[in-house]
């Protein structure tokens, strides 16, 4: 088992049960790329329900939506594709009618190119009655093929016309290798479970031996998980400092956190320039360190003009702002140097551009570089919303996220002679509105960004109040956890002490009892993120094997025949050798540091 197989190998074969409980083989495709390629990849899933998906038969089964014309073209390598010309409306171009079934998830992909420049292309599914579903976007370019990967959850049954839309009607739109693959919810869940077993667990084999190296049959091996390798966390705020019940509830569940406001600039330098006060975040960090809870630094800067310190006016001169930015960087990054696992360096700077507008287009990249100079330990994150939640939001669509992050990495590399890479991460806030989340689009967005090779975190998981809130929260968390590229999750319920809390996990007015969303967290901790103590026995050759969640374990091996035992510590990782030799030393448990 290697995560790289799931991220890069184009086909992951899985056997799934359909609604009739018969077995069918389906391919789940994790492959994606943020690169613009000279040749398009083959259609995923063989095209799924799309007819003539690779245009081997020219434009057969395809029609022209709206005005203009469509025609077949062939590359120098003999590959056929379809072109929309003479367009006058954004949706003019190639189309195919498909039948949607309400409740099914549809994974979509296509390869797009345009005749000149660079344009955003969207895929939309339009019903004859005027309903439409937005499936995703990509930045298409002249001279190379870009992958549009997205998806929909069908909210109605009936025919729809698959269409491609771009506002610039003067460009030709080129399309190749189109795929639309439907899945039932049962198939989707089974795929999650199978993937979790492959990427979050590992088979470990033991052989128990005596001190003279002879095998011992009938030895009992007890395994107790000390720490899970997958970080699950929750946002906290200053109220945790003075509430013992809340501290105990929190520390017993989570291994990572981020502070809601307490590290932000408008909090630490609240009243006037130079009047800094770190008393509260210092105390919160101390609580976390005492309870072995890692901390994501949130955040150094927030690009939204509304969330700057009140004394930082919009009319401030660029030269003065630059000095204040450097002062803030030195202050907060140096203060917590070596104590944080991450920094959200620039928060929401796809939707907003306060610092870029004032300091120039490279402001974000310069701040990332300066942060790394001050502290080399944390992974440095962009952090934004709607990248995987809302397919219609072009400001933070996966292609724009990837482009921005590439610019940050390239800037640092160029500033350092082309030899160094800054350690960056992909922060996806994952803040879902009420209603059915679009899990096909969510997965496609994670696939797309994962191809960059940087760690992906769901940093502010939230499902707004509405019908089925707890159910949708559980489904979002399962989807995130099952994706091989996701390295951690932080839930963002907002404070349970606030009247504005929309996704509280506990009810402070009811003796800190779990809410329905809190029950979801405890359910998933027990089912997915932690392991109960296990007991296994060695066979006649002294062998035994078990499948374990990745993480740290305490192992006690007892041999009843001689009343002897030994202890050891075991770290199970995705790269583990999977074989552990255990020597029983005597009737006193002897610590063994071998992994």
Domain with CATH 3.20.20.80 in the chain: 229-529
Start-end of CATH 2.60.120.260 domains in the chain:
34-183
Q: What is the share, in percent, of the chain residues with pLDDT greater than 70? A: 93
| pLDDT band (50, 70, 90) for residue 593 | very low
Higher pLDDT, 176 or 576: 176
Q: Which of 54, 235, 238, 348 is catalytic?
A: 348
- 55 pLDDT exceeds 60? yes
348 carries an active-site annotation:
yes
At residue 589, does pLDDT exceed 70? no
* Residue, of 203 and 417, whose pLDDT is higher: 203
Q: Select which of 460, 474, 475, 479 is catalytic.
A: 460
- Per-residue pLDDT, averaged over 370-376, amounts to 98
Q: How confident is the model at residue 315 (pLDDT cuts 50, 70, 90)?
A: confident
The CATH classification of domain 229-529, taken from the options 3.50.50.60, 3.40.50.150, 3.30.420.40, 3.20.20.80 = 3.20.20.80
Considering the segment(s) 201-226+532-583 as one domain, its CATH architecture is: Sandwich (2.60)
273 half-sphere exposure, CB direction, 13 A CA radius: 11
- The pairing of strands 564-572 and 232-234 is unpaired
Nearest of 133, 129, 118, 143 to residue 38 by alpha carbon: 143
Helix (H) or strand (E) holding 459: strand 456-463
Per cent of the chain over pLDDT 90 is 84
Give the pLDDT confidence of 509-520 residue by residue, as tens digits.
888 999 999 999
Question: How far, in Å, CA of 469 to CA of 580, rounded?
Answer: 44
Please give the pLDDT value at position 25.
38
The predicted structure's pLDDT at residue 359: 96
Radius of gyration for the chain, computed over Cα atoms and rounded to the nearest angstrom? 27
Which segments within 142-288 are labelled E, that is strand? 146-153, 158-165, 173-183, 201-209, 220-228, 232-234, 256-258
Q: Where in the chain is the domain with CATH 2.60.40.1120?
A: 201-226+532-583
pLDDT score recorded for residue 587:
54
CATH annotation of 34-183: 2.60.120.260
Instruction: Return the pLDDT at 28.
Output: 55
Does the structure show a pLDDT above 70 at 474? yes
Q: Which of 50-54, 128-132, 150-154, 467-471 has the lowest mean pLDDT?
A: 128-132
Residue 8 has pLDDT above 50, yes or no: no
Comparing C-alpha atoms, which of 564, 583, 582, 541 is closest to residue 215?
541
589 touches 554 (CB < 8 A): no
**pLDDT per residue as tens digits for the range 521-540:** 999 999 999 999 999 999 99
Instruction: Give the whole-angstrom CA distance, residue 27 versus residue 30.
Output: 10
Mean pLDDT of 529-558: 94
**Active site annotation includes 460:** yes
The arithmetic mean of pLDDT across residues 269-284, rounded, is 96
Q: Which two tokens stand for residue 538?
A: 């060695």
Beta strands in 469-542 (DSSP E): 486-491, 506-507, 513-514, 534-537
Residue 27 has pLDDT above 70, yes or no: no
């Amino acid at each position: 088992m290697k995560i790289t197989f799931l991220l890069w190998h184009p086909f992951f074969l899985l056997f799934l049960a359909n609604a009739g409980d018969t077995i069918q083989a389906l391919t789940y495709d994790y492959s994606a790329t943020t690169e613009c390629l000279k040749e398009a990849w083959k259609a995923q899933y063989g095209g799924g329900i799309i007819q003539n998906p690779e245009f081997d038969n020219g434009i057969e089964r395809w029609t022209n939506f709206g005005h203009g014309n469509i025609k077949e073209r062939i590359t120098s390598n003999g590959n056929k594709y379809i072109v929309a010309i003479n367009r006058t409306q954004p949706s003019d171009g190639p189309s195919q009618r498909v039948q949607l079934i309400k409740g099914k998830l549809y994974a979509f992909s296509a390869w797009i190119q345009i005749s000149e420049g660079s344009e955003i292309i969207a895929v939309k599914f339009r019903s004859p009655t005027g309903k439409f579903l937005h499936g995703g976007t990509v930045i298409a370019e002249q001279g190379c093929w870009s992958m549009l990967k997205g998806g929909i959850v069908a909210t109605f049954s009936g025919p729809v016309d698959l269409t491609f839309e771009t506002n610039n009607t003067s460009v030709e739109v080129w399309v190749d290798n189109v795929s639309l693959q439907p899945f039932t919810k049962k198939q989707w869940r089974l795929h999650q479970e199978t993937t979790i077993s492959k990427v979050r667990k590992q088979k470990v084999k033991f052989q128990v031996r005596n001190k003279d190296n002879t095998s011992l049959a009938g030895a009992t091996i007890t395994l107790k998980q000390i720490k899970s390798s997958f970080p699950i966390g929750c946002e906290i705020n200053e109220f945790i400092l003075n509430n013992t019940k809340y501290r105990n509830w929190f520390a017993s569940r989570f291994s990572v956190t981020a502070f809601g406001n307490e590290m932000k600039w408008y909090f630490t330098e609240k009243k006037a320039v130079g009047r800094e006060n770190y008393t509260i975040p210092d105390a919160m960090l101390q609580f976390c360190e005492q309870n072995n809870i890692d901390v994501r630094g949130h955040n150094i800067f927030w690009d939204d003009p509304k969330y700057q310190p009140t004394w930082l006016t919009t009319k401030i001169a660029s030269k003065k702002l630059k000095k204040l930015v450097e002062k803030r960087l030195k202050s907060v990054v140096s203060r917590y140097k070596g104590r944080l696992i991450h920094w959200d360096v620039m928060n929401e700077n796809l939707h907003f551009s306060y610092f870029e507008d004032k300091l120039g287009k490279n402001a974000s990249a310069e701040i990332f570089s300066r942060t790394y100079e001050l502290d080399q330990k944390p992974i440095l994150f962009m952090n934004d919303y709607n990248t995987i939640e809302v397919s219609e939001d072009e400001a933070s669509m996966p292609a724009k996220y990837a482009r921005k992050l590439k610019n940050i990495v390239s800037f640092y590399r160029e500033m350092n002679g082309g030899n160094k890479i800054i350690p960056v991460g992909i922060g996806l806030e994952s803040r879902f509105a009420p209603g059915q989340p679009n899990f096909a689009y969510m997965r496609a967005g994670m696939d797309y960004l994962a191809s960059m090779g940087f760690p992906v975190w769901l940093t502010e998981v939230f499902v707004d109040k509405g019908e089925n809130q707890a159910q949708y929260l559980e489904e979002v968390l399962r989807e995130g956890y099952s994706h091989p590229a996701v390295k951690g999750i932080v839930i963002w319920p907002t404070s349970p002490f606030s009247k504005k809390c929309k996704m509280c996990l506990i009810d402070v007015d009811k003796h800190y009892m779990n809410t329905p969303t809190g029950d979801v967290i405890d359910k998933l901790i027990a089912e997915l993120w932690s392991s109960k103590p296990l007991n296994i026995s060695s066979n006649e050759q002294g062998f035994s094997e078990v499948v374990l969640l990745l993480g740290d374990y305490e192992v006690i091996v007892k041999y009843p025949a001689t009343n002897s035992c030994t202890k050891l510590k075991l770290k199970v990782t995705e790269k583990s050798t999977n074989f552990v030799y255990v020597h029983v030393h005597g009737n006193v448990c002897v610590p063994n540091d071998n992994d």
